[in-house]
Amino acid sequence: MKIIVCIKQVPAKDAPLSIAGNWIRESDIGFEMNEPDSYALEEALRLKEKHGGEVIALSMGPERVKQTIKEALAKGADRGIHIADDNFAQLDPLGSAKSLAAAMAKENSDLVLTGLQSDDHGFGQTGVLLAGVLDRPHATIIMAIEVQDGKLRLKRELEAGWFQHLECPLPAVLTIQSGINKVRYATLKGIMAAKKKEIATISRESLGVAVQPTQRVEKIYVPTKTKKTEFLTGTPKEAAAKLVEKLKFEARVI
Amino acid sequence: MKILVITEQRQGKWNNTSFETLAAAQQIAQETSSSVIALVIGKGVEGLANEVAAKSVAEVLLVEHDLLEAYTPDGYCVALSQVINSAKPDLVLLPHTYQVRDFAPKLAALLGKGMIGDCIGYRHEGGKLVFVRQMFQGKTAADVTFQGAAPWFASFQAGAFRADLVKAHPSGKAPVNRVTVELKPEQIRTKPLELFREAKSAVDLTQAPLIVAIGRGIKVPENIPQAEALAKALGAEIAASRPICDEGWLPMERQIGSSGQTVAPKLYLALGISGAIQHVVGMKGARTIVAINKDQNAPIFEIADYGVVGDIFEIMPALTEALQKTK
């Protein structure tokens, strides 16, 4: 089975964000693999281990995203594709999906996996749109994948503790829910092996994708508070005593 | 402007966020002198169409087909693209449910359009609609506008608008108009099977009056007993955000958020929880919210009544001790 995993590199979880217009100042912070995508990668590696085939890590963005592709290779992906674009943060979800689809056109994959959403933009649309652009069936928020007679049997998560089983033919696109598996760490051997693996770089312009944005993020900002928070200060002991006081006599909840 | 609200039902039961989105649509319509059309899709859902016709809408579109009895993204995309092509709405609004996330972006793309998803509000400024959504896990808000020609698609997050503010029809009932759609079995590529719940959970957090919830800030499972001691001193149930349950540190049945349980206790004490959207939708209805977090910019503080900025590992034992003293 040939599996392509779309992986986004996003600002590190604890990175202090400094806002610049409709994006953030990138120079000040570290980046990491989008967590939901790390589950998609793990799932791809497990499917390959079970059914054979190849795992390709595909990522779009500036030079820095190569580091994330290398991490995927160190964990066991066979090769990487880097769509180089310094301005990819300005793409709308449809523009991203069209670019990713164009970059994987020659690959004839059986399965494309993505995380269910990114921790930065959080559009949560790329996988579904990719299926639309590739004209493939899809399923989202997947919690289990089984391959049976050339078809997929899936467990999809619904809200409030409900699930649904479904069948999906191949080739397909799936978005993976966090927690579907336990993500592996790269081993030293994996890191060494990754050095010999190929990363093909293509510029986004060379894909010839006409991008007509359907939406535009005008600006981002620190949200205005809807509730007035009373901050309790002092030593931990003082803050704790104040909090108990408030909960008992002001909020009257204990 | 013509606003179309695509409502959601499963097995003949409403997803109530449909009415929140209808409330949003009515509000936008009032500010922009627009009309609201509600759409009900499925099979055997005429009763639901009549129900929504009693709300303040110009018309209800009823889209029924044997192949729409169970939801599939292909079935919904094929059927709804036909309805949108004939009804020609300017704005299509949907509740931001898991089902909507599954098909709506594809539906918009089929029509060459885009969707602004998971909005928490909107503004009508200078004749233009600006949609507000969250980015960076709720650490920032973003103003987003549509580019290009209508129809535009947007979905609203659960809880962003109040379903109880939906206005009733001023004179009884709006017309319910059936729309015929062409749909063939071979157009539906996925096959939906049974709906199910995992083993019944032993704890029903929705009934707990007091909840102590832990997030990533707890760092390692060895620290959980500290939070449990605090929960015990408070007489509260222990709960967690998704990453903690993903790691297997607490069972899935203790997860609060969009994929877990939605709770509205008297007191919700959030320890080391940053307040990502997916968690907040499951607990923002709590009467009193206390947040303890080392990051003073954590989004959880936006909804907290009381906040302590500090190290949870110092505050948890102090709080446990203070609570024991009051007994």
B323/A244 touch (CB, cutoff 8 Å), yes or no: yes
How high is the ipTM of this complex? 0.90
List Cα–Cα distances, B276 to A171, B243, B247, B288, B302, in angstroms: 33, 11, 17, 18, 11
**What does the domain layout of chain A look like in residue ranges?**
2-207, 223-254
Please state, in angstroms and rounded to a whole number, the distance separating the CA atoms of residues B99 and B69.
Answer: 14
Residues B320 and B244 in one domain: yes
A211 half-sphere exposure, CB direction, 13 A CA radius: 23
Residue A215: count other Cβ atoms within 10 Å of its Cβ: 25
pLDDT value, residue B201: 59
Measured CA to CA, the distance from residue B259 to residue B253 in angstroms comes to: 10
Kindly state the tokens that stand for A181.
């598996």
Q: Do B246 and A243 touch (CB under 8 A)?
A: no
Nearest CA in chain A to B103: A128
Question: How big is the CA angle at B140 (ends B137 and A58), to the nearest 5 degrees?
Answer: 50
Q: Which of B208-212, B213-217, B250-254 has the lowest mean pLDDT?
A: B250-254
Q: Domain with B224 in it: what CATH number?
A: 3.40.50.1220
Q: Quick one: B8 and B151 in the same domain?
A: yes
Q: Which two tokens mark A104?
A: 């994987």
Output the six-digit token pair for A135. 């004209």
> From 3.40.50.620, 2.60.40.10, 3.90.226.10, 1.10.20.10, which CATH number describes the A2-207 domain?
3.40.50.620
Q: How far is the C-alpha of B327 from the C-alpha of B321, rounded, in Å?
A: 10
Which pLDDT tens digit goes with each residue over B271-305? 999 999 889 989 988 999 999 999 998 999 999 99
Angle, CA A122 vertex, CA B7 and CA B31 arms, to 5°: 50
Determine the Cα–Cα distance for residues A219 and B81; give it in Å rounded to an integer. Answer: 31
Query: Are B130 and B181 part of one and the same domain?
Result: yes
pLDDT of residue A94: 95
- Give every CB contact of residue B197 below 8 A, 6+ residues apart in sequence: A161, A162, A163
For residue B164, give the nearest of B19, B4, B309 by alpha carbon: B19
- CB count within 10 Å of CB B47 equals 9
Does B64 lie in the same domain as B94?
A: yes
Q: Chain B partners of A13 at a C-beta cutoff of 8 Å?
A: 216
Nearest to B305 among A92, A164, A229 (CB): A229
Give A198→chain B minimum CA distance, Å: 31
Residues from chain A contacting residue B260 (CB–CB below 8 Å): 160-161
B147/A11 touch (CB, cutoff 8 Å), yes or no: no
pLDDT at A137 (0 to 100): 97
User: Is the CB of B302 less than 8 angstroms away from the CB of A122?
Assistant: no
Through-space distance between the first and last CA atoms of chain B, rounded to whole angstroms? 61
Beta pairing partners, A206: none
Beta-strand runs (E) in chain B: 2-6, 9-10, 13-14, 35-42, 59-64, 91-95, 115-125, 128-135, 140-146, 152-156, 176-179, 191-197, 210-214, 237-240, 267-271, 288-293, 306-309
Is-contact B211 B265, C-beta < 8 A? yes
Residues B41 and B95 in one domain: yes
Residues B178 and B273 in one domain: no
Amino acid making up residue B147:
Q
pLDDT in tens, chain A (254 residues): 999 999 999 999 888 889 999 999 998 899 999 999 999 999 999 999 999 999 999 999 999 999 999 999 999 999 999 999 999 999 999 999 999 999 999 999 999 999 999 999 999 999 999 999 999 999 999 999 999 989 999 999 988 778 999 999 999 999 999 989 999 999 999 999 999 999 999 999 999 998 789 999 999 999 877 778 999 999 999 999 999 999 998 888 88
* Domains: count for chain B: 2
**Mean pLDDT for chain B?**
94
| Å between A75 CA and nearest CA of chain B | 19
Q: The tokens 């709308």 sit on which residue?
A: A92
**Residue B235 sits in the same domain as residue B289:** yes
Residues B148 and B252 reside in one and the same domain: no
- Yes or no: say if B253 and B202 are a contact pair by the CB < 8 Å rule: yes
- Indicate whether B169 and B262 sit together in one domain: no
B285 and B178 within one domain = no
The CATH code of the domain that includes B70 is 3.40.50.620
> Using the beta-carbon criterion (under 8 Å), do B143 and A218 form an inter-chain contact?
yes
The distance of A152 to chain B (nearest Cα, Å) reads: 10
Q: Which residue in chain A is spatially nearest to B78 when comparing CA positions?
A: A132
B283 domain residue, yes or no: yes
| Last residue in a domain, options B155, B187, B219 | B187
Domain extent, residue B159, equals 2-187
For residue A192, count CB atoms less than 10 angstroms from its CB and return exposed for 0-12, middle for 13-18, buried for 19 or more.
exposed
Q: What is the pTM of this model?
A: 0.87
pLDDT of residue A227: 75
Q: Of the residues B160, B187, B214, which one is the last residue of a structural domain? A: B187
CA distance A25 to B150: 33
Does B294 lie in the same domain as B176?
Answer: no
In whole angstroms, give the CA distance from residue B4 to residue B151. Answer: 10
